[in-house]
Amino acid sequence: MMAAVSRTGALISSAFVAGRHGRRFSSLAFSGRRFSIRSDRNAGGYCGGGLLSFLPSSRAKGVCSTFAPHAAVETSGAAAEDASTPPPSDPVKKAADALDIRVGRVLRAWRHPEADTLYVEEVDVGEAEPRTICSGLVNYIPLDHLQDAKVVVLANLKPRNMCGIKSNGMLMAASDKSHETVELLIPPEGSVPGERIWFGSEDEKDRQPEAATPNKVQKKKIWESVQPHLKTTDACVAVLGVHPMQTSAGIVTCRSLKHARIS
């Protein structure tokens, strides 16, 4: 009997291979539910074949190691299809990839003239003109800490009128459960204003899809679906589930808040 491991189990022949037992088989190829084998030259170049059935992965390991420890597998048909099937998509990660999160730099900041709890910032996000953003940070962050600070900006929200000033984006920050302590997310040293931030490994940077339009973000409630899954780790790293928030220069963090929510 012969066996070949696929990603979810093993394909097992339904009949013993004709010929003497104990040969070492150097190749095993599939076509539909049939297989063919070829032995080492030292074993006489034997060829054979048979029909296939499927064995779940929970039982595959022992069977394959018993019956075909030396086989090199070439899959086609059902086996190849199984091996090439992509993992199921993560809807939250897919939604997060539609957000336009960028590195920003605060050019100047001042108190909102009509709202005691709001700052107004002009932020460079890599566009021709800086964005005006209003942030409710007066009770948490001293004004001088904002001046010339590198920040993380959610840039594809619809503009909002905040006490007479149109706010075009949001500074992202971490906060504790009681919302008594708030800290801005910090791009790593060397991050460039305007660079789009992503979640995941370094090689995922070049696989980012195009960001959704502000209208789509609002209509599909994309931010609302992503935000509950954003947090900081015990190392103060900003993450989406298990996916770290990254720029080309490294990992996005906050100053000291652990296991904090991000908004």
**Higher-confidence residue: 99 or 85?**
99
For the segment 15-62, what is each residue's pLDDT rounded down to a tens digit?
A: 333 344 444 444 555 455 454 555 544 444 444 544 444 444 444 444
Tell me what percent of the residues of the chain surpass a pLDDT of 90.
66
Phi first, then psi, for residue 65 (nearest 5°) are: -70, -25
pLDDT of res. 38: 53
pLDDT of res. 29: 54
pLDDT of res. 28: 53
For the segment 158-178, what is each residue's pLDDT rounded down to a tens digit?
A: 999 999 999 999 999 999 999
Q: What is the mean pLDDT of residues 189-205?
A: 96
**Higher-confidence residue: 72 or 130?**
130
Residues 115 and 133: their CA atoms lie apart, in Å, by 14
Residues 190 and 109: their CA atoms lie apart, in Å, by 22
Tell me what percent of the residues of the chain surpass a pLDDT of 70.
67
Question: Residue 151 — pLDDT band, cuts 50, 70, 90?
Answer: very high
pLDDT of res. 166: 98
pLDDT of res. 32: 52
Question: Residue 240 — pLDDT band, cuts 50, 70, 90?
Answer: very high
pLDDT of res. 87: 55
Q: What is the mean pLDDT of residues 246-253?
A: 98
Phi first, then psi, for residue 97 (nearest 5°) are: -65, -15
Q: What is the mean pLDDT of residues 65-92?
A: 50
pLDDT of res. 188: 98
**Higher-confidence residue: 229 or 48?**
229
For the segment 204-221, what is each residue's pLDDT rounded down to a tens digit?
A: 999 999 999 999 999 999
Please give the mean pLDDT across all residues of the chain. 79
Tokens of 160: 């909002």
pLDDT of res. 89: 73
For the segment 103-141, what is each residue's pLDDT rounded down to a tens digit?
A: 999 999 999 999 999 999 999 999 999 999 999 999 999
Tokens of 62: 């022992």
The model carries a pTM of 0.68
- As to burial, measured by CB atoms within 10 angstroms (0-12 exposed, 13-18 middle, 19+ buried), residue 132 is middle
SS (H, E, C) 21-59: CCCCEEEEEEECCEEEEEECHHHCCCEEEEEEEEEEHHH
